[in-house]
Amino acid sequence: MAKIIAVMSPKGGVGKTFISLELGIALSKLGYKVLVIDTNVYAANLSLYIGMSHTPTTLNDVIKFSIPPENAIYKFNSVVDVLPATSKVEVEDLNFGLRFMRNFLFKLSTKYDYIILDTEPGFTKNNEVIIQSSDMILLVSTPDIPTLMTTHKMVILMDKFGVKDKFLVLNKVLRAYYELKDKEIKELMGIDTVLEIPFSKEVVRSVSLRTPLTKGRLFNYFMNLAGFITGKEIKKKKFLFF
Ligand X SMILES: Nc1ncnc2c1ncn2[C@@H]1O[C@H](COP(=O)(O)OP(=O)(O)OP(=O)(O)O)[C@@H](O)[C@H]1O
Candidates 14-22, 31-39, 152-160, 178-186; binding stretch for ligand X (CB under 6 A): 14-22
Specify the residue, 107 or 205, whose C-beta has the smaller distance to ligand X: 205
User: What phi and psi, each to the nearest 5 degrees, are found at residue 139?
Assistant: -90, 120
> Is 87 an interacting residue with respect to ligand X (CB under 6 A)?
no
Q: What does 7 interact with, of Mg ion, ligand X, none (CB < 5 to 8 A by kind)?
A: none
In the complex, the smallest distance separating the C-beta of residue 235 from ligand X, rounded to whole angstroms, is 22
C-alpha count within 13 angstroms, C-beta hemisphere, residue 99? 0
Helix, strand or coil for residue 68?
Answer: coil
Specify the residue, 205 or 232, whose C-beta has the smaller distance to ligand X: 205
Report how far residue 9's alpha carbon sits from residue 172's, in angstroms, rounded to the nearest whole number: 14
Q: Pick from 215, 222, 207: which is nearest to 49 by CA?
A: 207
In the complex, the smallest distance separating the C-beta of residue 12 from Mg ion, rounded to whole angstroms, is 7
- Site for ligand X (CB under 6 A): which residue of 2, 6, 14, 170? 14
In the complex, the smallest distance separating the C-beta of residue 45 from Mg ion, rounded to whole angstroms, is 4
Query: What track of x and - describes contact with ligand X for positions 119 through 158 (by CB under 6 A)?
Result: --x-------------------------------------
In the complex, the smallest distance separating the C-beta of residue 77 from Mg ion, rounded to whole angstroms, is 20
Q: In what order do the strands lie in the sheet with 114-118?
A: 74-76, 80-83, 34-38, 114-118, 3-8, 136-141, 166-173, 193-198
In the complex, the smallest distance separating the C-beta of residue 118 from Mg ion, rounded to whole angstroms, is 6
Query: What track of x and - describes contact with Mg ion for positions 39 through 58 (by CB under 5 A)?
Result: ------x-------------
In the complex, the smallest distance separating the C-beta of residue 186 from Mg ion, rounded to whole angstroms, is 26
Report how far residue 91's alpha carbon sits from residue 96's, in angstroms, rounded to the nearest whole number: 15
- Site for ligand X (CB under 6 A): which residue of 3, 6, 15, 133? 15
Helix, strand or coil for residue 53?
Answer: coil
- The answer to whether 141 and 12 are in contact (CB under 8 A) is no
Q: Pick from 94, 92, 86, 77: which is nearest to 28 by CA?
A: 77
Q: Pick from 163, 231, 237, 225: which is nearest to 18 by CA?
A: 225
- Residues near Mg ion (CB under 5 A) are 16-17, 45
- Residues near ligand X (CB under 6 A) are 9, 12-18, 40, 45, 121, 171-172, 197, 199-200, 203-204, 207
